Chain A
């Protein structure tokens, strides 16, 4: 039993050594690369999923954008598996840590902006002013568009953190409520158990969707700048 509501968001430690690296590297054990033409069922399913994600994400990109296929596939796989880790009870979810999500968002966003400035400088700078803007509004709109550009990595990271954290908090709250109600009002605890089951299903969906949204937005920024 956790001591408080936020205990599962603390970094697990042994002898003062943080175990975060183990938690982050654990999903790599679930992905099994193979050089065989015909694989076993799990490898075949993984390869089919990877092909599906690749086709879905990279069809609309230019040749330059498609060089990022490996990066984007790794990103969506990493975030999906880390999010799904948290749906297990008492597990630590790496993607609830803003530091990890900012560590993913800032380099990738910066890379897309630098790529745009390096290869398509005029087009990238032209994006700071929407077409058809009235002349008196131009200075203000450029400032607004610049601010919205710099907010993009923060929004990426905070969106993922908040969505995953909120779901886990709700599950903890309802779990504690159920435990208390078990000894007092048994019929109410049945309702809370049903709600928890529905919430876990929602959390599974949120885990997959948030990974897809994160990767899709990075892919969109890449598409705008390549």
Chain B
């Protein structure tokens, strides 16, 4: 599989990754640094709020239990909360 990957993917695109896209790698490094800083700031803020004794530290919307009727469902339905389609 690795040999196929090298033959079909890496060898044809090697000039792009090594020569053409050099500046894009730098940009991706900057983007990664920004993402790291934002994540670290969020973690720091969350830890600070918990330390100060906040009972309800903020939670990301994607991580929250969304609404009341979710709480009435079983654990199985809560875990499979991809969408709620009422058919």
Contacts and interface: CB of A to CB of B under 8 A. Distances in A.
A14 B27 contact: no
Interface residues of B, number: 26
Contact of B66 (A7, A102, A108): A7
Contact residues of B: prevailing secondary structure:
helix
Contact of B84 (A2, A18, A68): A2
Nearest to A64: B20
Interface in B12-69: 16, 20-21, 23-24, 26-28, 30-31, 34-35, 61-62, 66-67, 69
B66 A110 contact: no
B80 interface: yes
B49 to A, nearest CB: 22
Contacts of A16: 79
B85 interface: yes
B61 A6 contact: yes
Interface in A1-29: 1-4, 6-7, 10-16, 18-19
A150 interface: no
B62 A13 contact: yes
A68 B22 CA distance: 12
| Interface size of A as a range | 20 to 34
A68 B24 CA distance: 11
B31 A10 contact: no
B62 A10 contact: yes
A111 B27 contact: yes
Contact of A106 (B23, B31, B85): B31
Interface of A: 1-4, 6-7, 10-16, 18-19, 67-68, 70-71, 90, 99, 102-103, 106-112, 114-115, 118
